[in-house]
Amino acid sequence: MDTKAHIVVEGLVQGVGFRWFVARRAESLGLRGYVSNLYNGNVEIEAEGDRSLVEEFVKEVKVGPRSARVTNLHLEWREPSNTPNKHSHFEIR
């Protein structure tokens, strides 16, 4: 069953390869969505796919790459997109 997670990650997550790490993990799990830097230094992620795969992805995002320091993670579960091809892949914005 598909689901969507909206995630905001706080900490040392910009300038450390965090978006690339997120995109690689999402793609390897077959998730759709995006990752982008926010003006306040946080990173925003929207990931959509099979619930168990999204849950695994969230666990990995909480840790991040070695160079990052995740201090907080805000997670909101949402209904998956009904719009065909809204997110056909995972992109870095």
Domains and CATH numbers, the chain: 2-80 (3.30.70.100)
Q: What are phi and psi of 21, to 5 degrees?
A: -60, -50
Q: Which long-range contacts (CB under 8 A, 24 or more apart) does 34-37 make?
A: 34/87, 34/90, 34/91, 34/92, 34/93, 35/90, 35/91, 35/92, 35/93, 36/92, 36/93
Which tens digits make up the pLDDT trace of 52-93? 999 999 999 999 999 999 999 999 999 987 655 566 789 999
Confidence grade of residue 1 (pLDDT, cut at 50, 70, 90): confident
Catalytic residues: 19, 37
Which tens digits make up the pLDDT trace of 22-57? 999 999 999 999 999 999 999 999 999 999 999 999
* DSSP H stretches of helix in the chain: 18-29, 51-63
The tokens for 26 are: 């999402």
Q: What angle do CA 57, 60, 62 make, to 5 degrees?
A: 110
Q: What is the pTM of this model?
A: 0.92
